[in-house]
Structure 1
Amino acid sequence: MPVVLQHASRFFDSCHARFNNVHVWFGRSLALVFILSLILIQTNELGLLPLFLASHIPTNLFQAVHIVFTLVLIVEIIEMVFVLPKSFSRAVGKQFEIFCLILLRHAFNELVHFSGVLTLADHVDPVLRIMADGFGALVMFLLLGVYFAARRPLQRFRDLSFLEGFVATKKLLALVLFGFFLGVGVFNGVCVVRGISLIPFFPACYTALVFADIFIVLVAQQYFTFFPSVFRNAGLAVSTTLMRIGLSAPAYYDVLLGIVAICFAVGIQLACCFWIRFVDQGKDRRDVVREA
């Protein structure tokens, strides 16, 4: 294995260990962040904050929900980076998990159209979008359970050391992705301070993930020659592309594309299970008969 991949692998493992500690601490801090956000927003609404600070803080209390859900999604994105080297299908599943949370975040974002009191009067459109995003996330969550239940190893290796180079390559790719996500986050932070338009963070992340998934599919060709493995990896990359398109789609279409993407991924998994159970095992039995 090249020296670059060895160093990247060790650095990745070190970052992963540190992230686990930070993740526990961050989870305990979310409630505090939510309370502080509510206090700051309410203070700003009363006009008690200085002008240089007030311009960067919203005045709608429901924005506090948006803030904490954004933080949750950022942590999930980072966690997905550390899942990437373990299993391609698991990493794609993690992307679907994040998409479900994004839909729920969209549902909470609709609350900013309400002025303090949650009523249906004059708010039919936001309520319909909340229902669409909420039920869309629920359907995707249920299908995600089927997706994970249908995961099966398609190709087994007697010598797992053969895959060390592949795993190390994915760890290097994960580090590159993490650097990209961090760069976009820092750039958006600078944009907030300067008052200029931001790069849409999650669409940018998913665009990078589409290219990363395609790269993994190509690299996997050196290690996985079994046709169902090749088909599954390429098919799952198509599903992540549909997810990326869904992130930029208008209301309702984003939910529809997300459900289509997870249905396609579930279909890929079930088709591979069918192939393993009936086609490949049947082939083995026929070969035994011929040899006899």
Structure 2
Amino acid sequence: MNKVVASFYNSFLSEKVKEKSEVIIVYIAILSFILHLLLIGLVNLDFITVTDHSKLLSNPISAIYTPFSFILIYEVYLLLYYLPKSTSIYIGKQYEIISLIVIRRIFKDLSNLEVSLNWFSIKNDLLFTADLLAIVLLFFLIYIYYKLVKNSKVEKAEIMTPAISKFISLKKAIATCLVPVFLVLSVFSLGHWFYESFFSFSKIVTDIKDINKIFFDDFFTILILVDVLLLLFSFLHSDKFNIVIRNSGFIISTILIKLSFSTEGIMNIVLIVTAVVFGVALLKIHNLIDKIEK
């Protein structure tokens, strides 16, 4: 069984595969950006006709939204890649993903801005400003988070005990199983969203959920279940109080991110920032306890 898992793991989550995937995603992102711009040009020149409900074909700036969608998919792959290697970096990738989602939303909203003296009285412009402030704060919080990860004793070299070795093997098996789930979910979500956004002639298109809610809402639900499973298995090799609290807190942080997909406006931003602040605070306290125990 270990050989089978190792074979699949090396086929999907090895360093070599990661580097190839990065190159492929970059080319796909560039191609999708060009195709999106081409579609916008054809629509504006009346060569093709689409439903009036589609907002992603009205402004060239909105074309930036498409390549960012593929970059986000690669970030999810990196999340699976780091799952067996480091719990802290795995959580950090979740924070990167939600930050990129906010940036992508900013690019999308840029095409709908109403520049006027009454900026703060226009709801969409006010939310756009809140997103700008949120991304600066999130970027700074992620910097602090990775700085804390670097200083964390847990992330430094440890003696490889049989219990730790088995736990790492379990994480590799889980990450490997998540790859096909991620692929199926991403293909289905992107295909459904693409059809409904660009080619659906039904009025139902006005009620279609944002792609964030279609893919990431479901995917983060799966991550929560995985995090709980890993927390339970982590007791087999460590029952230190600060590690248990840290890992439990990371699950709460993931749940807050998941909840953000079911909200909109300021509440969405508050949940996202709170999730990252909570994770950073827990890691900081965890490191302080580690120093005391030295």
TM-score range, shorter chain: 0.7 to 0.9
Q: What's the counterpart of residue 62 of structure 2?
A: 63
TM-score (normalised: structure 1): 0.83
Q: What's the counterpart of residue 257 of structure 1?
A: 271
Give the 3-state SS of the residue equivalent to 1:62 in structure 2: helix
Q: Distance in 2 between matches of 1:267 and 1:50?
A: 51
Q: Which runs of 5+ in 2 are unaligned?
A: none
Q: Distance in 1 between matches of 2:128 and 2:55?
A: 26
What whole-Å deviation, never above 9, does each CA across 1:173-203 have from its counterpart, x for those lacking one? 1122222222222333553558585771111
Q: What's the counterpart of residue 210 of structure 1?
A: 224
Give the 3-state SS of the residue equivalent to 1:225 in structure 2: coil
Q: Distance in 2 between matches of 1:147 and 1:136?
A: 16
Indicate how the Cα distance of structure 1 residues 276 and 51 shifts in structure 2: closer, same or farther if over 3 A, else same: closer
Q: 1:120 aligns with which of 116, 121, 135?
A: 116
Q: Is the 8 A contact 2:56 2:62 kept in 1?
A: no
Q: What's the counterpart of residue 146 of structure 1?
A: 144
Q: Is the 8 A contact 2:25 2:71 kept in 1?
A: no
What whole-Å deviation, never above 9, does each CA across 1:34-79 have from its counterpart, x for those lacking one? 2331122111232213779xx9983432331111111111111111
Q: Is the 8 A contact 1:110 1:129 kept in 2?
A: no
Indicate how the Cα distance of structure 1 residues 193 and 99 shifts in structure 2: closer, same or farther if over 3 A, else same: closer
Q: Is the 8 A contact 2:260 2:269 kept in 1?
A: yes
Max Rg structure: 1
Q: What's the counterpart of residue 184 of structure 2?
A: 183
RMSD over aligned CA atoms reads 2.7
TM-score (normalised: structure 2): 0.82
Q: Distance in 1 between matches of 2:11 and 2:191?
A: 29
Letter in 2 for 1:60: N
Indicate how the Cα distance of structure 1 residues 260 and 14 shifts in structure 2: closer, same or farther if over 3 A, else same: same
Q: What's the counterpart of residue 25 of structure 1?
A: 24
Following TM superposition, by how much is the alpha carbon of 1:127 offset from its aligned partner in structure 2, in angstroms?
2.1
Q: What's the counterpart of residue 167 of structure 2?
A: 166
- The 5 A counterparts of 1:231-270 are 231-270=245-284
Give the 3-state SS of the residue equivalent to 1:203 in structure 2: helix
Q: Distance in 2 between matches of 1:216 and 1:64?
A: 39
Q: What's the counterpart of residue 74 of structure 2?
A: 75
Give the 3-state SS of the residue equivalent to 2:60 in structure 1: coil
Q: Distance in 2 between matches of 1:56 and 1:109?
A: 9
Following TM superposition, by how much is the alpha carbon of 1:132 offset from its aligned partner in structure 2, in angstroms?
0.9
Q: Distance in 2 between matches of 1:223 and 1:9?
A: 21
Q: Given the alignment of the two structures, is residue 7 of structure 1 paired with residue 18 of structure 2, yes or no?
A: no
Indicate how the Cα distance of structure 1 residues 188 and 260 shifts in structure 2: closer, same or farther if over 3 A, else same: closer
- The 5 A counterparts of 1:98-109 are 98-109=97-108
Indicate how the Cα distance of structure 1 residues 68 and 157 shifts in structure 2: closer, same or farther if over 3 A, else same: closer
Give the 3-state SS of the residue equivalent to 1:154 in structure 2: helix
Q: Distance in 2 between matches of 1:50 and 1:160?
A: 64
Q: Is the 8 A contact 1:41 1:61 kept in 2?
A: yes
Give the 3-state SS of the residue equivalent to 2:154 in structure 1: coil
Displacement over 4 Å in runs of 4+: 192-199
Following TM superposition, by how much is the alpha carbon of 1:161 offset from its aligned partner in structure 2, in angstroms?
5.0
Following TM superposition, by how much is the alpha carbon of 1:217 offset from its aligned partner in structure 2, in angstroms?
0.9
Q: Is the 8 A contact 2:153 2:290 kept in 1?
A: no
Q: Distance in 2 between matches of 1:159 and 1:75?
A: 30
What whole-Å deviation, never above 9, does each CA across 1:249-288 have from its counterpart, x for those lacking one? 211111111111111111111111111112x23xxxxxxx
Letter in 1 for 2:264: P
Indicate how the Cα distance of structure 1 residues 122 and 109 shifts in structure 2: closer, same or farther if over 3 A, else same: farther
Indicate how the Cα distance of structure 1 residues 189 and 107 shifts in structure 2: closer, same or farther if over 3 A, else same: closer
Following TM superposition, by how much is the alpha carbon of 1:99 offset from its aligned partner in structure 2, in angstroms?
0.7
Q: Is the 8 A contact 1:154 1:228 kept in 2?
A: no
Following TM superposition, by how much is the alpha carbon of 1:86 offset from its aligned partner in structure 2, in angstroms?
0.6
Q: 1:130 aligns with which of 128, 131, 149?
A: 128
Following TM superposition, by how much is the alpha carbon of 1:28 offset from its aligned partner in structure 2, in angstroms?
4.5
Q: Is the 8 A contact 1:166 1:220 kept in 2?
A: yes
Q: Is the 8 A contact 1:30 1:68 kept in 2?
A: yes
Q: Is the 8 A contact 1:85 1:171 kept in 2?
A: yes
Letter in 2 for 1:12: Y
Q: Which runs of 5+ in 1 are unaligned?
A: 282-292
Q: Is the 8 A contact 1:62 1:111 kept in 2?
A: yes
Q: Distance in 2 between matches of 1:158 and 1:172?
A: 21
Q: What's the counterpart of residue 288 of structure 1?
A: none
Q: Distance in 1 between matches of 2:186 and 2:141?
A: 31
